[in-house]
Amino acid sequence: MEKLGGKFNIGGSLEVNRLGFGAMRITGAGVWGEPKDRAGAISVLRKVVELGIDFIDTADSYGPYVSEELIREALHPYDTGVKIATKAGLVRTGPNQWHPVGRPEYLRQELEMSLRRLGVDRIDLFQLHRIDPKVDLADQIGLLSDLQREGKVDRIGLSEVSVENIEEASRFAKIDTVQNLYNLANRSSEAVLEYCDANGIGFIPWFPIQMGSLAGESGVVGEIAKEVVATPAQVSLAWLLQRSKVVLPIPGTSSVEHLIENAAADRVTLSDDQFKRLFEVGNK
């Protein structure tokens, strides 16, 4: 099978197919509690690896804990070579409620619990879900660095950060990925992506398929989808894959049908003109 979107080496050694899977939507409404269809969620996760996707992104706060538990139930002992990225640093008090907590003792506790829930001895990629403004960044990143030295974490990542945040965090550990909101309709992290591209840092765009009116029949995504005989979602993902070799899209879904559609995005090739049209409309 042709590998999805080509490959990227996170940190120079953790090789993954660039088109991954985000495991947030397999939980309940508001990213809270169990999914309505647990068996369906398990089926989606198993189909992920059947399609050749070998990079799954989750977090302790998805559920909370539910997403990690489902991943273990569906895929452990991960003999397909799948790599699991997870995060800590946000606590939940209810559906759609998220609060940053970056105290080192809390981050260590959550890492230990993630190891147990996922059934592994080491997390492939451990990401600080949000920087806690009430805790020194040196303490937050220092704890992740300690976990890495202890062999419990392979690679370290950040989420929702600025270029300045990355540069400061890099004083205390090697930062190998950044996960920010980025898609055709939202380019607020353009400078961060440029920085990651220049420095070989994996850039994981969350919410990668937001298109808004661009996907309508008269919108540029809809127009180009007709031209290349693809869906608007596939065009959006193809654009991300062509945007930079460091981009690692992680579209999520609770539907096997949508998963198959998303996975086919790597077979969509945009011409230089089509890529430029998409880039320009999203930058207005």
- Domains and their CATH numbers in the chain: 7-210+248-253 (3.20.20.100)
Active site residue: 62, 65, 182, 195, which one?
Answer: 62
Answer whether residue 243 shows pLDDT above 80. yes
Identify the DSSP state of 29: G
CA–CA dist 152, 134 (Å, integer):
25
Q: What angle do CA 58, 266, 129 make, to 5 degrees?
A: 20
Over the stretch 161-218, which tens digit does the pLDDT of each residue have?
999 999 999 999 999 999 999 999 899 999 999 999 999 999 999 999 976 666 666 6
Residue-level pLDDT at 1: 47
Confidence of residue 281 (pLDDT cuts 50, 70, 90): confident
CA–CA dist 197, 194 (Å, integer):
5
Answer whether residue 31 shows pLDDT above 70. yes
Task: Give Cα separations from 251 to 13, 26, 133, 219, 247 (angstroms).
Answer: 23, 12, 29, 21, 12
Give me the phi and psi of 240, to 5 degrees please. Answer: -60, -45
Contact predicate 50/82, CB 8 Å: no
Mean of the pLDDT values across residues 18-23?
98
Record the tokens describing residue 82, joined without a space. 């799948």
Task: Give Cα separations from 244 to 3, 9, 129 (angstroms).
Answer: 17, 14, 23
Angle between helix 220-228 and 232-243 (nearest 10): 90
Please say if 106 is a catalytic residue.
no
Residue-level pLDDT at 216: 66
Angle between helix 232-243 and 256-263 (nearest 10): 40
